[in-house]
Structure formats: structure tokens, C-alpha cells
Amino acid sequence: MKRSLKNSGLDKAYRSAPRLAADERSKIVLMSDCHRGFGSWADDFAKNQLTTLAALKHYFYQDYTYIELGDGDELWENKSFPEITAVHSDIFALLARFYRAHRLYMVFGNHDQEKANKPGLLDAYENVSRKATLPLFPGITVCPGIRLQYGPENRELFLVHGHQPDFFNSSLWRLSRFLVRYFWKPLEMIGYKNPTSAAKNNKVKEKIERHLTGWAVKNNTPLIAGHTHRPVFPEPGEGLYFNDGSCVHPWSITAIEIASGEISLVRWGQKTKEDGTVYIGKNIIGGPRRIGDYFQQRMDLASKPYI
């Protein structure tokens, strides 16, 4: 089978990805595409800030490890990372607690690739409530991907943002950033959509999903990504490509949980009790399924063609 040029970026990310051990005792939550911004009406994350904070508090106190699969911060539309941390300092204060507890890992996406290119960018942040500069993630390595080695046999799940097959947002990411910052951002304010965005163009989204699916099948490796903002949760025997969705859905966020040997896709959002009280809770929208069931199906899937 010939190597797809579109998948060569995924191969490179896989080869340079660090390994992280996990087993049935591990508790991991995967989120991506928060696109944390300046807090203005153009900040897509702002409407879900409280929902995300509630979800992260739940995962922190339940001893989950948080893995952010890229585009956590919107560094294409916004130039200043310190301004983003100042606006969302409550989120960053909690993420800093994850990091101090050795329960935080970050993968870069196309919109926050600068995190990997600028040493020291994530060392500190401005905590507005305490009116002080505090440690954030000093010494963190932001990775192109993570090879999650699961169980005693070290079978792998590949965790990646998923922009690598997207030519405009990987090979030409600096040009795409320029166009988003100075061309598409003003146009989107009056209703036009960026046709190169995987999150906003269904044809681009489907093309990228085919390549992500193809890489997973070719390599007999379950792949969990973000980038497209579209949640994907296959049944065992039906596929190896998962997507955790995003934190910028209308009034909700999605995530993938790995715990007790099972994998689930969940949605967090506002709910109401019978007395009208509003609260933030979650629903399971995919799974739970045994992770081992996906490994058992890999040889069957490997014979299926892909584009």
C-alpha cells in the first residue's frame, strides 16, 4: 500500500510522540479545541467557560489526568497569550493545579503551535483574583502527539490534534494564521465562513476524517483526535478513529473519558431540576465500551481499504 502524502505528517507526529503508560487503574480525560480567547463576543470559548470549569473541577477531584489535544488557546486570532490567561485565569489556575499534581499533558494544534515553538511561553500567568504573576506550566513540553501505551501488553492509542492531513493548517499554518487574523476574522464578524476551516467546512472536515481514519486502519492503531470539532465514537469492529469534539459547541462541551478499562464520549452542559434549578452535568453519548474490544478488532479492520 502506497504511503499517502497527507498521512506523512501523522507518521512524523507519531514517530516524535512521547510514550505515556496507562492501564485499567488510569483515569484520563481528553479535551481539545477550547480556543480560549480574549473574552470578547468573538471569543468562542467564553459561552462555555463555566461549563468547562465545572467539568475540569469534577475531573480534578476525581483524580483524572487531563490531556489537551490541541487548540486549547486561540493564538491565531489573538497575539497575546498573557491576555488570554488574564481573561480565563480561573481556568488556568485549575490547569496549573493539574500540572503540579503531574496530571496534565498538552498536545499542540495548528492554532496553538506557538506553544511548542516559544520556550517559556507557558511558564507563568497573570492571576487576576490574586493580582499576581504565578507559575503556570514551567518546564512543560508541548508535544505533536502522545502514544498512550495501554495495559501490560503496551498496546497503543495515538493521541493527536489531527490537523496534519490539513494542508492549509499544517504545511501552510503561518499563511493560514495570517489570513485568519487579518482577513477571515473581520469577514466572520459579518457572517462569512472561512472555507479552509475544518470546523466550518463540511467537505474539508470529511476529507480530514478520511485521512485520520485511514491512518488508524493502516497502522492498526486506535487514533483519538480533535481539530474537526465533530465528535466521533465508533463501535468495536466499526472503526478505530475517535474524535473528542470541542469546547465550543453551542452551550455544551464534549470530551472522551478513559477509566476502568473503558472509553466513553461525554457531553457537559446546563441542565435543570424539577424545581427549575439550573446546574451543569454530563451525559454519556458514546459508550462506554471496553478498550480491549478495539484492540481485538484491529486485524479485521486492517484489510479494509481507505482513501
Residue 244: which of 161, 306, 168 has the closest Cα? 161
- In this predicted structure, the answer to whether residue 63 has a pLDDT above a threshold of 90 is yes
Mean pLDDT of the chain: 86
The proportion of the chain whose per-residue pLDDT surpasses 90, expressed as a percent, equals 67
pLDDT at 79: 82
pLDDT at 173: 55
pLDDT at 4: 47
Domain extents for the chain?
5-302
pLDDT tens digits, one per residue of 28-40: 999 999 999 988 7
- In this predicted structure, the answer to whether residue 169 has a pLDDT above a threshold of 70 is no
Confidence of residue 7 (pLDDT cuts 50, 70, 90): low
Q: Which residue has the higher pLDDT, 168 or 35?
A: 35
Average pLDDT over residues 149-156: 90
pLDDT at 15: 96
Q: What is the pTM of this model?
A: 0.88
Average pLDDT over residues 239-265: 96
- In this predicted structure, the answer to whether residue 148 has a pLDDT above a threshold of 50 is yes
pLDDT at 5: 44
Confidence of residue 199 (pLDDT cuts 50, 70, 90): low
Q: How far apart are CA 149 and CA 106, in angstroms?
A: 17
Which CATH topology does 5-302 take?
A: Purple Acid Phosphatase; chain A, domain 2 (3.60.21)
Average pLDDT over residues 98-111: 96
Contact 28, 257 (CB under 8 A): yes
pLDDT tens digits, one per residue of 203-229: 888 999 999 999 999 999 999 999 999
- In this predicted structure, the answer to whether residue 70 has a pLDDT above a threshold of 60 is yes
